[in-house]
Amino acid sequence: MIRNVVVGRLKDGVTPEEIEPGLQALRDLTVEGVEFTLVAGVDRGLRGGNASYALTCDLVDDDAYRVYDADPEHNRIRQEMIAPFSALVERVQFQLP
């Protein structure tokens, strides 16, 4: 099992409400032939210095991640609904035990 973790910071002046439609679009995303579990949300503000939003996506293996990552709708959401509001996006994929 592969876990993809994405953490982002919003640009100055962007509110959490503005990124929510993009996060919801990712929650609603389906990719033909790939099963995955995606959880996403905005920071609750419980500690200073946190990132603005995060998501995790669990996929069965590296090949499933590559299909998910290359999916045209996934990339459209990232380019049109996430990137314009984000100052920084960092990712990591790792093997779950």
Strand partners, 41: 54
Q: Is 77 exposed, middle or buried (0-12, 13-18, 19+ CB in 10 A)?
A: buried
Tens digits of residue pLDDT in 39-49: 999 999 999 99
Domains within the chain, CATH numbers bracketed: 2-95 (3.30.70.100)
Residue type, 25: A
- pTM summary value: 0.93
pLDDT in tens, 22-75: 999 999 999 999 999 999 999 999 999 999 999 999 999 999 999 999 999 999
Q: In what order do the strands lie in the sheet with 53-59?
A: 36-42, 53-59, 2-10, 86-95
User: Any idea which residue has 């290359």 for tokens?
Assistant: 70
Share of the chain above pLDDT 70, in %: 100
Cα separation, 24 vs 45, in Å, equals 20
